[in-house]
Structure 1
Amino acid sequence: MGSDVVLPDGGHVDGQTRAAVVSLLVEDGPLTATEIADRLGISAAGVRRHIDALTAAGDVETSSSGFGQRGRGRPAKWFQLTPTGRGKLRHAYDDLAGAAMRTIREIAGEEAVAAFARERVERIVADVEPVGETGSVSTTVNEIADALTSAGYSANTREVGTGMQICQHHCPVAHVASEFPELCEAETAVFTELLGTHVQRLATIANGDCACTTHVPIHAPPDAQPASVPQKKSSRKASR
């Protein structure tokens, strides 16, 4: 993950377990206590104890964006990191990167910052095939997510209604992006070009959200035929 986790006070074993919980929430959150328990190989009760401690410290909260209910019974409770919890992830070279970006802006102006941001994103997705070559929006969306994950963004995709969403659960440059929104804007622009359709950024970690979420509309193919509408039978009786 490339980050150190600052945790509430606790024993050595508790600290390791809470670090593991935080890592899972960074990479794949929101998650339920049962999912975390299954992945860590410990009891759900034990996970809830650590979740309670992290919640008390302000690092974890119940997800307001819930992903529904699995199976029967009570709806599952999903947990995610709070902005405070993410703020305790110390990202290497943040200060250096911020200083470098400020120098670029002072020497060469805003256009140079935007050009740098775009070049950075293009390097990340250099091996992603655009929709025109793959012929499938969903294929390109998944390739973008894989490229982002390789770059440290812990990204995945999900289908939502008539579209898909790219969810980046971690941002290695979040603190810098809060000062330089050009980094996020460049991502949106490059994603749009690769996908051949306008994408919408719904949330960003740089703005204090718990994940960067990009919505990608998927339109029906142009040769798709509309569903036929059955004709109503006339209620009038035939005249004799």
Structure 2
Amino acid sequence: MSEPRLAANDGDTRQRILQLLLEHNPASATLIAETLGLSAAGVRRHIDILVDEGLAETAPAPSTGPRGRGRPAKSYRLTDRGRARFGHAYDHLATAALTALREAGGEKAVTAFAKQRIDDILHGITPVGDAAETQDVVRAVVQAFRRAGYAATINENTGGVQICQHHCPISHVASDFPELCAAEHEAVSKLLGQHTQPLATIADGNGICTTNIPLTPVIKAPQERSGQ
């Protein structure tokens, strides 16, 4: 069966594929095909073009987790060049500006800027304890990050949730100025009223930024008294 009117919208289709690779990181051709309502063969043709253009690449097979019969489905992810399509145009300007700020005002000036930036992004979110539940605050934080271009999602796990940022619009700048990431984690922790666990960041070369938020408190066993 031929792909209906595929050639007429090749550019739009490949842009949508790039968006899905950004959000899922990585994604299989089957998943993309099901999401877009296209055939897997048609999607693979588009992916081949994206790979040839240096925008996507084959993702390495997972080294852990359950293994079924047969070969695992091939997955794809964005390259650095592909990620750049989603907003790194001002990286050099931002890096130069922060460098000048550091030289003029020192580390405190950069930290103050980073805190003000994330406060602006998360402005208006009600903290936990002020008529707000933890899950509601997490959802509000994720929505705020999405509006700021982070392609953020929520991933539930046993005993907690994770804030996953599949795209960070400042990742290249944050590599040189970790104060930006530190301010984000501090601001989210304050809103939630608890410690959060940064597990991975794009700025450090990972494919995704992941922050774990425990929802089940850890209860420590009482220590035995000496001599008993």
User: Under TM normalisation by the shorter chain, which class is it?
Assistant: 0.7 to 0.9
* TM-fit CA distance, 1:208: 1.4
Alpha-carbon distance in structure 2 between the residues aligned to 1:195 and 1:60: 37
Alpha-carbon distance in structure 2 between the residues aligned to 1:64 and 1:194: 37
Alpha-carbon distance in structure 2 between the residues aligned to 1:33 and 1:125: 35
- After TM superposition, the structure 1 = structure 2 runs for residues 47-196 of structure 1, keeping only pairs within 5 Å, are 47-55=43-51, 57=54, 59-62=56-59, 77-83=74-80, 85-87=82-84, 91-196=88-193
* 1:32 and 1:79 in contact (8 A); partners too: yes
Alpha-carbon distance in structure 2 between the residues aligned to 1:14 and 1:167: 29
* 1:83 and 1:210 in contact (8 A); partners too: no
Matched, 1:34 2:30: yes
Q: 1:179 to 1:221 in 2, by over 3 A?
A: closer
* TM-fit CA distance, 1:134: 3.9
Counterpart residue type for residue 179 of structure 2: E
Alpha-carbon distance in structure 1 between the residues aligned to 2:12 and 2:190: 42
* 1:153 and 1:172 in contact (8 A); partners too: yes
Counterpart residue type for residue 38 of structure 1: E
- Deviation digits for residues 20-48 of structure 1 (CA, Å, limit 9, x no counterpart): 31122223443332331233332111112
Query: Paired residue for 2:42?
Result: 46
* 1:60 and 1:85 in contact (8 A); partners too: no
Q: 1:36 to 1:88 in 2, by over 3 A?
A: same
- 2:18 pairs, out of 12, 16, 22, with 22
Aligned alpha-carbon RMSD (Å): 3.0
* TM-fit CA distance, 1:82: 3.9
* TM-fit CA distance, 1:170: 1.0
Counterpart residue type for residue 77 of structure 2: Q
- Deviation digits for residues 158-200 of structure 1 (CA, Å, limit 9, x no counterpart): 1011110001111111111111111111111111111111111
- Deviation digits for residues 85-144 of structure 1 (CA, Å, limit 9, x no counterpart): 435655222221111101110000001101100110011011211111244211111110
Give the alignment's TM-score, normalised by structure 2. 0.78
- Deviation digits for residues 209-234 of structure 1 (CA, Å, limit 9, x no counterpart): 11111111112599xxxxxxxxxxxx
Counterpart residue type for residue 94 of structure 1: D
Alpha-carbon distance in structure 2 between the residues aligned to 1:95 and 1:221: 43
Matched, 1:204 2:220: no
Query: Paired residue for 2:213?
Result: 216
* TM-fit CA distance, 1:51: 2.8
Give the alignment's TM-score, normalised by structure 1. 0.75
Alpha-carbon distance in structure 2 between the residues aligned to 1:147 and 1:80: 25
Alpha-carbon distance in structure 2 between the residues aligned to 1:134 and 1:62: 43
Identity across the alignment (%) = 48
Alpha-carbon distance in structure 2 between the residues aligned to 1:12 and 1:181: 44
Larger radius of gyration: 1
